Amino acid sequence: MERFILEMGRDFTYVGKQVRLVFDNRDYYIDLLLFHRKLKCLVVVELKIDDFKPEHKGQVELYLNYLEKYEMNEGENPPIGIILCASKEPEVVELMKLDESRIHVAELITKQIAGKLPQAINNAKILLEQRKEYRKGEVT
């Protein structure tokens, strides 16, 4: 986590990961919440292993509006969002008018890595199941 934040720049401070927001009896989770000292604003970072999709903008807009309404402190600027995804189509980004919003899209995960992520996730699930089975054996 420290390396990721340092790569983004020195002025970011860590607020939290999987930050829970609750409204309308539903839970929402911000992947990563940072604060930028010079910009004086919260920064929502959403990580997507797939290509950028229009619905990603709506999700981040929801988070930004919530933070602006409930979490912004006096003297801070409105929060901004960064969507890190496998790839983005320039025309989709243009039609979504992201350059006019507080949301930015960046390609972070290459196709090669993204292709390996499902297998890594599957391996992690198998390990979790093995641990559960092992712990059941300890209890009985």
| pTM of the shown model | 0.72
Mean pLDDT (10-residue bins), the chain, 140 residues: 63 90 94 92 91 92 96 95 88 85 79 61 77 68
106-140 pLDDT, tens digit each: 887 555 555 666 677 777 778 878 877 776 766 55
What is the DSSP annotation of the chain? -HHHHHHH-TTEEEEEEEEEEEETTEEEEEEEEEEETTTTEEEEEEE-SS---HHHHHHHHHHHHHHHHHTPPTTPPPPEEEEEES---HHHHHHTTGGGSSEEEEE-S-HHHHHHHHHHHHHHHHHHHHHHHHHHHHH-
pLDDT, position 21: 94
CATH of domain 2-109: 3.40.1350.10
